[in-house]
Amino acid sequence: MDFFAHLVTGFGTALSPMNLLYCFIGVLLGTVIGLLPGLGSATGVALLLPLTLNLSPTTALIMLAGIYYGAQYGATITSILIATPGDSASVVTAIDGYPMARQGRAGPALAIGAVSSFVSGIISLILLMALAPVFASLALHFGAPEICALIVLGFTSIVGFSGTSRTKGLAMAALGVAITTIGLDPQSGNARFTFGFINLFGGIGFLPVVIGLFAVAEVLHQVRSGKVEPIRTHFRDMILKREDWRRCRTTICGSGLLGFFIGVLPGAGATLASFLGYDLARHFSKHKDEFGKGAIEGVAASEAANSAAVNGAFVPTLTLGIPGSGTTAVLLGAFIVFGIQPGPLLFTNEPDLVWGLMCSFFIGSAILLLLNLPLVPVFASLLRFRYALIYPCILFLSFIGAYAIENRMWGVWLTLAFGIIGYFMKRYDYPTAPLILGIVLGGMFEKTLIQTSSMGGGDLTIFLNRPIAMVLFALAALILYGPYLAKIYSKIRRASARKA
């Protein structure tokens, strides 16, 4: 009964005209920020935090959450239209979204992105409201060995992103992990592979690499491939068809649930969720061959997992005071600025704020959908311009975004270097997604491995005493070797049938 009473209070707070207005402004500003390469939700929330200081804490947090949501979708738009992911979590969306756009299906890609974000967002919000304390206690069972095993499971998705050669995919993932070891060592704080070069002390930033590998490399690749024709489509091709929805509905639910659970785990984040959500969808899809070439389920899976993970990240933030992602870390800072202490007592001490905030997520998701769905044909019309006019502007915005990440030229140099590397990778069929996956997971993998090693006093057999970790390892082994075992099994069966 308490739950429904809180829900009524929450919606009462969220639907007040003032909160509704600021939620709308937040979503709108967030979408604009998300459209700019490099400026993800964390930067957006941090940049616009000062604008909310004169508002009441509830209104301010509702607006900041709106920015968070809006930025996620803004990043999706650029991922699909120009292969320039605004933040790390939308990298996977570009894998199928961009080929869809080049095939004249930018409209359905953008629409399914918005719809799947909305649907999985709603599912995960219900879970967040009803079961936040349960998930929080579950997350507490995830120590370093379990997170390490989860990351190993994340690495298995390389198989799905490797394209024509699995060896190249594995090599790129290893290269990604190697790149994360440049900079200060997480254990001792000593510099590794920096050669006295001060810029390398902070490591190689993720976003400049992504902008270089995706945006710059794609531009150069398109220029090399010759005259790129503008994409002119009819209005009817820009809307989502029943068949598209039929193909995606189970994917949205499955990847959404997985995304939410990964989002709950502190530090795992929406990027890992989108990679794993995509891989899950690929495994169970009837159209496996289309993945990576413009499968609508690929976009739906990535966006559903990403959006659900965003909500999942609020579980440890609100209930334990531990940020579940980079952006919730900034939001946690905002809580403290407003004199609110997140943690187990937050639900008891500030019910109006917590339930108002959670209900505003519903409102924010709905506003986002209502705002963006009618604009899909407008966004998609961008591709009607000649590519010769678009790409210099993409380069301009990419480099300015690369500078804005850390306000220094180092990001620009990295973007240029990885743009060149990415161009040659495309030319010689080296897949970029495993490299990104390696960079996303490499740092986390090393950190959790070191922590596990310390927990076991140097003995890594500690994994054997952790049932959750063992289940995750078994799942990883099943994903990697399952298809081979199934082939061997069917061969044996066929041979024995012939004998009989």
Partner 1 sequence: MKPRGDYVGALILVAIGAAFSTLSVDYGILGEEARISPGFVPFIVGLLLVVFGAMIGWETWRSRVHATINPTEDDTESESNTDKGARYSTTKSVALIFGLLLIATILAPILGFLLTFSILVFAILAGVEQERLWFSLIISLSIGLLAWLIFYQFMGIRLPLGISAPLIGG
> Is 382 an interacting residue with respect to partner 1 (CB under 8 A)?
no
- Closest contact distance (angstroms) between CB of 392 and partner 1 is 4
102 or 221: CB nearest partner 1: 221
> Is 137 an interacting residue with respect to partner 1 (CB under 8 A)?
no
C-alpha gyration radius of the chain = 22
> Is 461 an interacting residue with respect to partner 1 (CB under 8 A)?
no
> Is 129 an interacting residue with respect to partner 1 (CB under 8 A)?
no
* Stretch 384-443 residues interacting with partner 1 (CB under 8 A): 388-389, 391-393, 395-397, 399-400, 403-404, 407, 409, 412-413, 416, 419-420, 423-424, 427-430, 442
Residue linked to tokens 């190993």: 152
- Closest contact distance (angstroms) between CB of 255 and partner 1 is 29
Q: Write b or e for each residue in 452-476: b if 16 or more Cβ atoms lie within 10 A of its Cβ, otherwise e.
A: bbeeeeeeeebbeebebbeebbebb
> Is 192 an interacting residue with respect to partner 1 (CB under 8 A)?
yes
* Stretch 13-72 residues interacting with partner 1 (CB under 8 A): 33, 36, 39, 47
Residues 245, 249, 255: CA angle, nearest 5 degrees: 135
Total site size for partner 1, rule CB under 8 A: 62
> Is 444 an interacting residue with respect to partner 1 (CB under 8 A)?
no
Can you tell me which of 457, 461, 499, 500 binds partner 1, judged by CB under 8 A? 457
Listed in sequence order, the DSSP H helices in 385-466 are 387-406, 409-427, 433-455
366 or 420: CB nearest partner 1: 420
> Which of these, 27, 4, 16, 31, lies nearest to 365 by C-alpha position?
27
Return the DSSP state at 201: G
167 or 496: CB nearest partner 1: 167
> Is 225 an interacting residue with respect to partner 1 (CB under 8 A)?
yes
> Is 196 an interacting residue with respect to partner 1 (CB under 8 A)?
no
Can you tell me which of 54, 190, 461, 496 binds partner 1, judged by CB under 8 A? 190
Q: Are 411 and 205 in contact (CB under 8 A)?
A: yes
CA separation for the pair 376, 151 (Å, rounded): 35
CA separation for the pair 181, 88 (Å, rounded): 19
389 or 497: CB nearest partner 1: 389
CA separation for the pair 172, 436 (Å, rounded): 8
- Closest contact distance (angstroms) between CB of 170 and partner 1 is 5
Q: What is the CB neighbour count within 10 angstroms for residue 420?
A: 14
Q: Are 137 and 431 in contact (CB under 8 A)?
A: no
- Closest contact distance (angstroms) between CB of 72 and partner 1 is 18
Cβ neighbors of 212 (< 8 A, separation 6 or more) are: 402, 414, 415, 416, 417, 418, 419, 420, 421, 422
The residue ranges that bind partner 1 (CB under 8 A) are 33, 36, 39, 47, 165, 167-168, 170-171, 174-175, 177-178, 181, 185, 187-188, 190, 192-193, 216, 219-220, 223-226, 388-389, 391-393, 395-397, 399-400, 403-404, 407, 409, 412-413, 416, 419-420, 423-424, 427-430, 442, 445-446, 449-450, 453-454, 457-459
